[in-house]
Amino acid sequence: MSGKKIVVSAGPTVEPIDYVRFISNKSSGKMGYNIAIEAFKRGADVKLISGPVNPIDTDGIDKINIRTNEELKDAIEKEFDDCHALIMSAAPTDYKVRNASDKKIKKDGNNLNLELIENIDILKYFGNKKNKQILIGFAAETDDLIKNAKIKLESKKADYIIANDLKKKGAGFDVDTNIASILSKDKVDKLDLMSKKELANKILDLLV
Ligand code: CTP
């Protein structure tokens, strides 16, 4: 993959409620980091754009740290035009808090109602923008895996969707293995349980 620029997003995004509190999700970043590391080993010029995750050794990979969806989108935007592929393994937080406070909100004995507004869909945004880039997205589902993944493939204009059934043992967040199906326009390839490292290489084989 020498001479190929691959942008990989990984981990969760976080959206502030106030100065100390936030909303986020369970993403560990393990899938995205495995993809970035394996692509780097294959000689690719890797840009890893990561939300806050527990430290994972990346041994010299160019890493850009982000927190919010907006920061993730902006960081990808800077790398997108001349990249060969964008692999969206990040789990962007789908909602952000309207009127997040830059101070710590004080308790006053009452409940606190938060209004959550939908965040931009980053993969869809780049799906509409792409010209030559290959876009690979994921689908994290608890129900109707293939049906929902197909909808994501089409609506986000991705070239491939890696679909995960979050409820299957050995798949989902914070484990080192995954059970995935790879969807493209006219094919569904159901894979067995494998390590995230092995799956990372299967995903990179799609690009090759
Ligand atoms: N994604 C994105 N921007 C978002 C949400 C998701 O770019 N705001 C990307 C993810 O990185 C992933 C794909 O879209 O590659 C699917 O994400 P997923 O969480 O499975 O689905 P959503 O699009 O968020 O839809 P839903 O939560 O309704 O399943």
Q: Which amino acids bring their CB within 6 angstroms of ligand 1?
A: 88, 90-92, 94, 119, 121-123, 137-140, 152
* Average pLDDT value for residue range 88-96: 97
Section 14-42 average pLDDT: 97
What is the C-alpha end-to-end distance of the chain, expressed in Å?
8
Task: Please write the tens of the pLDDT for every residue from 57-84.
Answer: 998 899 999 999 999 999 999 999 999 9
DSSP states of 58-85: -TT-EEEE--SHHHHHHHHHHHHTT-SE
- Rounded distance from Cα 181 to ligand 1 centre (Å): 16
Domain range list for the chain: 5-96+117-206
At residue 172, the pLDDT reads 79
Q: Give me the CATH topology for the region 5-96+117-206.
A: Rossmann fold (3.40.50)
pTM score: 0.97
